Chain A
Amino acid sequence: MKPAPFRYVAAWTLDQALQLKAQYGDEAHFLAGGQSLVPTMNFRLTQPAVLIDINRLSEYAGVKNCPPEGLRIGALTRYRNLERDPATARDLPLVHEALPHIAHPQIRNRGTIGGNLAHADPASEMPAIVLALAGKLRAQSVRGERRIAAADFFVGALSTALEPDEMLVEVELPVAQPRSGACFLELARRRGDFAIIGVACTLRLDEQGRCAAARIALCNAGDTPVLAAQASDSLVGRRVGAAEIDGAAELVRRSIEPGGNVHASKEFQHHIAGVLTGRALATAVERAGAA
């Protein structure tokens, strides 16, 4: 189908974009990569009165190194550029591993990290990854700016903590530390499809080889990206071997509430979540030992 009529405004400055959003609130949508928004407009599931094109705000496209917090990724950074940036493989191995799973090359050529996160599809990869990395999201409005922890940002299916006048401008992600390992795995019917289940995990070992910190997050396992807190905590302070991994996988399997769909039953999603968690943790431990 074709989109319903709307007013299109290309913003040249952040101030202009924020003024418009403050004026129109929920009636207006930001247009970043448009790879999730435009399909919903073509279906007329989304009918904004005003579309604020923010693609010209080039100062919000790109990756900045900001020690000690880590990397600050502009909301308008396209996945194409993250894939081609050597800093991604070096500093954000979890993101690097997940990028090829995010839709198709043509979508990644256009899609932005900020648009992906603000769309907040629970089946999407990047929300779970930002959650696993305990990232921070910087939102700006005419009223000022605030940083939102990933755990507080995703509040429901396609729903975030952003206020109607706010724009997501930057994502802060920590860089990989020594003795840390990460792994992203997903199962999909076809390359580029949404995951039946995806698992992102990060893990850091102390000098004795015990787990100092762990975070496991899943996509398509509930209404939001899901942080498996109990499973993650079960690893901390322990030497992570086969028994610990099996235990954490079982906790993940029991804690999630996937919806089931035409591609996979709930039972299958539970099963796959356990299998992938086990594999991802084993790989992350191995990588942490080598890092």
Chain B
Amino acid sequence: MTTDTHDITVTVNGTQYRRAVEARTLLSDFLRHDLSLAGTHVGCEQGVCGACTVLFDGAAVRSCLMFAAQADGHAIMTVEGLAADRDHLHPLQESMRDCHGLQCGYCTPGILMTMKVFLEETPAPDEAQIREALSGNLCRCTGYQHIVEAVALAAERLRR
């Protein structure tokens, strides 16, 4: 079979990119390999672990369950777009650091992107809501306790 390639224009973290992609290239691999945005991690490649979660037109999605060709004309935000600049982390990132919400850090980008939208839609969540919102992101280090605390602290900081 000849390779089926598509020219796509996609906006990632506010920057517009034009690339030719193979039809079968997953969005997660496109971000990592073609755009060198390796902050998006790839865990299971079957939609279970949540490590590859990015924002697609503002909604948290699994980037391993989409093809790069589908992103043509759409806007994506990855963990690289979260902090305002090199010296100022996003309140979620600050809170994860302050509460020890990560150990190996592999799941962290997916959790940050999922929680970013969650806190915009639910500015004052209770613990049950935070745990429900975290249910699609696996972490094998922390036991989640410190992540829940970090999200609660971030919610408080974002409300100030």
A53→B70 contact, CB < 8 A: yes
Q: Contact flags (1/0) for A24-42 with B, using CB distance below 8 Å?
A: 0000000100110011001
Task: Please measure, in the bound complex, the distance between the C-alpha atom of A104 and the C-alpha atom of B1, giving whole angstroms.
Answer: 36
Task: Please measure, in the bound complex, the distance between the C-alpha atom of A39 and the C-alpha atom of B66, giving whole angstroms.
Answer: 10
Option from A4, A8, A43, A109 in Cβ contact (under 8 Å) with B59: A109
A104→B135 contact, CB < 8 A: yes
A109→B60 contact, CB < 8 A: yes
Residues of A within 8 A of B4 (CB): 5-8
Option from A1, A3, A55, A190 in Cβ contact (under 8 Å) with B135: A190
Residues of B within 8 A of A105 (CB): 60, 114, 118, 133, 135-136
Residues of B within 8 A of A104 (CB): 50, 135-136
Residues of B within 8 A of A2 (CB): 24, 26, 29, 45
Task: Please measure, in the bound complex, the distance between the C-alpha atom of A53 and the C-alpha atom of B4, giving whole angstroms.
Answer: 14
Give min CB distance, B10 to chain A, whole Å: 14
Give the number of chain B interface residues (Cβ < 8 Å).
32
A3→B47 contact, CB < 8 A: no
Task: Please measure, in the bound complex, the distance between the C-alpha atom of A288 and the C-alpha atom of B3, giving whole angstroms.
Answer: 58
CB of B62 closer than 8 Å to a CB of A:
yes
A1→B45 contact, CB < 8 A: yes
Task: Please measure, in the bound complex, the distance between the C-alpha atom of A1 and the C-alpha atom of B3, giving whole angstroms.
Answer: 18
A192→B136 contact, CB < 8 A: yes
A42→B6 contact, CB < 8 A: no
Interface SS, B side: mixed
CB of A51 closer than 8 Å to a CB of B:
yes
Size class of A's contact patch? 20 to 34
B23→A6 contact, CB < 8 A: yes
CB of A191 closer than 8 Å to a CB of B:
yes
B62→A5 contact, CB < 8 A: no
Residues of B within 8 A of A (CB): 1, 3-4, 6, 22-24, 26, 29, 45-47, 50, 53, 56, 59-62, 64-67, 69-70, 72, 114, 118, 132-133, 135-136
Cβ contacts A to B, 20 pairs, < 8 Å: A3-B24, A5-B3, A7-B23, A8-B23, A8-B24, A8-B67, A8-B69, A31-B67, A39-B47, A42-B26, A42-B46, A43-B46, A51-B23, A53-B69, A55-B70, A104-B135, A105-B135, A109-B59, A110-B65, A110-B66
Residues of A within 8 A of B (CB): 1-8, 10, 31, 34-35, 38-39, 42-43, 51, 53, 55, 80, 100, 103-107, 109-110, 190-192
Top 8 A-B pairs ranked by shortest CB distance? A104-B136, A8-B23, A191-B135, A39-B46, A109-B59, A38-B65, A3-B24, A7-B4
